[in-house]
Homo-oligomer: A and B are copies of this chain.
């Protein structure tokens, strides 16, 4: 095993110059975001950043900058990863590299990919994790990450491709290596895609579901902000009828309120408390929005 790990260490000898590798040396450090289900209790996230810093140091890319989107996605919850990436990516500068790993199929048949879109490059597994981003910023090109000279050692671990493939590729991209150098082009229509579940129109309103419960216990629904206007609407959920207000501050302390969240969806909240606890609502539960 010592030998195995040894071969993973960066080695000047074993790596030849890669295309474009000193391109970014004099400009601003490149930005890489990270979104995973790895949590923060282990060293997995730190190791990925270490690998990226090592790649940058070895290839003269100049310093990289890392921003964590979240590592608190529930283990293997691709839908939650899709949602949070869809929320976050639009706020980052054009040209950012977005590295994301929520990956039930690691080591199996699913492809490792990188996708170019208007906001930057997305790097991760081909399992619909980027679908919400791509609905808004359509893919312009994509490659399968099948060229081992851009990996961490020639034989990536079958259990931690985040470290051995996705992190190294993200570092090379941030360093200026062009997408097409990293692997064979793949057809855009072959990318695994799952649309966000959205509410459907029903008589007098919309029927949807709870799609996310956030840290505050706010229940984010699948009803889009554009579906409501003004304040005359109510949300029916778990036997409660909750009336719309304009902002959290308008609810009495402890009152259930419905509002348009900052993410662009209708949500239910409690001023000073957790709506999910109060309502006993979980992701997937039905929600109806209507004008009262």
Which A residues are within 8 Å of any B CB, using their own CB?
1-5, 8-10, 28-29, 31, 33, 35, 38-47, 49-51, 53-54, 57-58, 62-63, 65-72, 75-76, 84-85, 87-94, 96, 104-110, 136, 157-160, 163-164, 214-216, 224-227, 246-250, 259-262, 264-265, 271-272
Q: Which of B51, B54, B67 contacts A46, CB < 8 Å?
A: B67
A-B contact pairs, 29 of them (CB 8 A): A1-B227, A8-B91, A28-B57, A35-B43, A39-B215, A40-B40, A40-B68, A40-B70, A40-B71, A41-B214, A42-B214, A43-B69, A43-B85, A43-B88, A46-B88, A47-B87, A50-B91, A51-B91, A53-B65, A53-B96, A63-B65, A105-B249, A107-B250, A108-B247, A108-B248, A110-B249, A158-B247, A158-B259, A160-B262
For the complex, what is the distance from the CA of A19 to the CA of B87, rounded to whole Å?
30
12 A-B pairs besides A42-B72, A47-B87, A106-B249 with CB distance below 8 A are A1-B224, A31-B53, A33-B50, A40-B40, A42-B70, A43-B69, A49-B67, A106-B247, A107-B247, A108-B250, A158-B246, A159-B247
| Identical copies of this chain, number | 3
Whole-angstrom distance from the CB of A89 to the nearest CB of chain B?
8
Q: Which chain B residues lie closer than 8 Å to A58 at the CB level? A: 93
